[in-house]
Structure 1
Amino acid sequence: MLTGLDIFIFGGFLLCIMGVGIYIGQKENTSEDYFLAGRSIPWYGVAGSIFGTNISANHLVGMLGIGFSIGFAQAHFELGAAAGLLLLAYVFLPVYYKLRIFTLSEYLEKRFGPASSLMYTITSFILILVQMIAAFYIGSRTLNILLANTGIQFGYIGGIFGLIAISCTYTIFGG
């Protein structure tokens, strides 16, 4: 389905985005720089970051499929997410700002002690791992379908590991 030009444009775009992430990431020296961009991002940048964090292959493929199969009822999931983001913005962020903390783990440690922070970290790791497995699988399936007629074949497992490598590289170097 994709042509050589499509692959070239997509690959070039991906490399440019990674290059910008690596370039900007070199300026990060503290956890505040990493998590809060040195407190220098305008509100629309924060909004875009929150939006981008919440969107993945699960949304672009999975949510559309569920919406098609069960109808508009799926929108309730997103309405709940909007309520959660408003709760975060108006209830939790002022507390985080006052305590000068950046993550929920830090808050739990200050409020309830190190054991709660560790439990949250372990639970989050497991949940994120499960979500990422699904996201990488969906992404790999999509890539294999899109690249079917190009002669580029790497299978589902190869696609998963390729997406993991790209994601890790981008994240580690400041993405």
Structure 2
Amino acid sequence: MTLTWMDGLLFLAFVLTVLGVSLYAGKKGRSSEDYFLAGRRLTWPLIGFSLIAANISTEHFVGMAGQAFGETGLAIASYEWMSAVTLVVVAWFLLPRFLSAGIYTMPEFLEYRYDTTTRSIMASYMMVAYVVVLLATVVYSGAVALNAVFGISGMFETRFGMESEQAHFWALVASIWIIGIIAGAYTTYGGLSSVVWADLLQCSALLLGAGIVLYYGLQTLGEGSVLGGWQKFTSMHTDKLHVVRPWNDPNMPWIAVFVGGL
């Protein structure tokens, strides 16, 4: 499949829309409360979309989808099911106590409970873990997707006369920089308000895109029939449709997911 100029135009329009809305939302206030807490003006739909968007990324569309296609199957979604349970527990029992005490972050809670040294240790650990483990994975998988969709490595081969492996490497580097610069621009400028509004747009696009891919994928598998595609899929891959695996499963034992998820 070859992308047309219309595909590139739509992608650019979406990126500019996200940037524009995010930067506009972030310019409403300049105080530290506006920057870090969005001036306490966020409504529950925005907060909900932001929570969902924080758990949907290329890590899921590329990484988790690949694991689901492999031996793990739908059991890889167990992490998300357990996250839903955990969020309900936090919302009902812990969050009201945090808010009444004026606590907004876990390091802040540790300072409230212990001391500033404990807070600093926790904050440093979370920052390193987030950057090295989560953020690196998300940005890299996003670069892989960007390169695959737009054929950036092919452009590098043609324009700069690079070998295939070299072009692929520099295409990933360029894609990572593109993603980092765009996301960093509105995040640094507008703070939490910009992030939340960007999450709203991006989450809507991701959910809509996932639904479209699912529909046309099943339609193609069923040779024109979505229902036929679903029946064919479920009959061909019954071993991959178990969300809960045995306790001694080598890849995703249910007890590890249950305890680790909580």
Q: Distance in 2 between matches of 1:28 and 1:55?
A: 28
Give the conservation status (yes or no) of the 8 Å contact 2:3–2:150.
yes
The alpha carbon displacement at 1:81 in A equals 1.0
Structure 2 unaligned regions, length at least 5: 157-169, 195-262
The alpha carbon displacement at 1:150 in A equals 10
Distance change >3 Å, CA 31–CA 81, structure 1 → 2: farther
Q: Distance in 2 between matches of 1:44 and 1:169?
A: 24
Give the conservation status (yes or no) of the 8 Å contact 1:32–1:102.
no
Which aligned pairs between 1:1-175 and structure 2 lie closer than 5 A? 1-69=2-70, 70-130=72-132, 131-148=134-151, 152-153=155-156, 155-174=171-190, 175=194
Give the conservation status (yes or no) of the 8 Å contact 2:147–2:171.
yes
Q: Quick one: which amino acid aligns to residue 92 of structure 2? A: Y
Q: Distance in 1 between matches of 2:153 and 2:174?
A: 16
Q: Secondary structure of the residue that 1:2 maps to in structure 2?
A: coil
Q: Provide the identity percentage.
A: 33
Q: Distance in 2 between matches of 1:163 and 1:149?
A: 14
Distance change >3 Å, CA 23–CA 149, structure 1 → 2: closer
Give the conservation status (yes or no) of the 8 Å contact 1:57–1:138.
yes
Structure 1 unaligned regions, length at least 5: none
Q: Distance in 2 between matches of 1:99 and 1:149?
A: 50
Give the conservation status (yes or no) of the 8 Å contact 1:21–1:173.
no
Q: Quick one: which amino acid aligns to residue 157 of structure 1? A: V
| C-alpha RMSD of matched pairs (Å) | 2.0
Q: Distance in 1 between matches of 2:5 and 2:78?
A: 40
Give the conservation status (yes or no) of the 8 Å contact 1:67–1:74.
yes
Q: Which has the larger displacement, 79-88 or 146-155?
A: 146-155
Max Rg structure: 2
Q: Distance in 2 between matches of 1:96 and 1:125?
A: 21
Distance change >3 Å, CA 62–CA 149, structure 1 → 2: closer
Q: Distance in 1 between matches of 2:43 and 2:84?
A: 20
Q: Distance in 2 between matches of 1:97 and 1:30?
A: 20
Q: Distance in 1 between matches of 2:31 and 2:103?
A: 13
Give the conservation status (yes or no) of the 8 Å contact 1:66–1:74.
yes
The alpha carbon displacement at 1:32 in A equals 3.4
Aligned to 2:252: none
Q: Secondary structure of the residue that 1:173 maps to in structure 2?
A: helix
Q: Distance in 2 between matches of 1:123 and 1:140?
A: 26
Q: Distance in 1 between matches of 2:155 and 2:106?
A: 42
The alpha carbon displacement at 1:37 in A equals 2.6
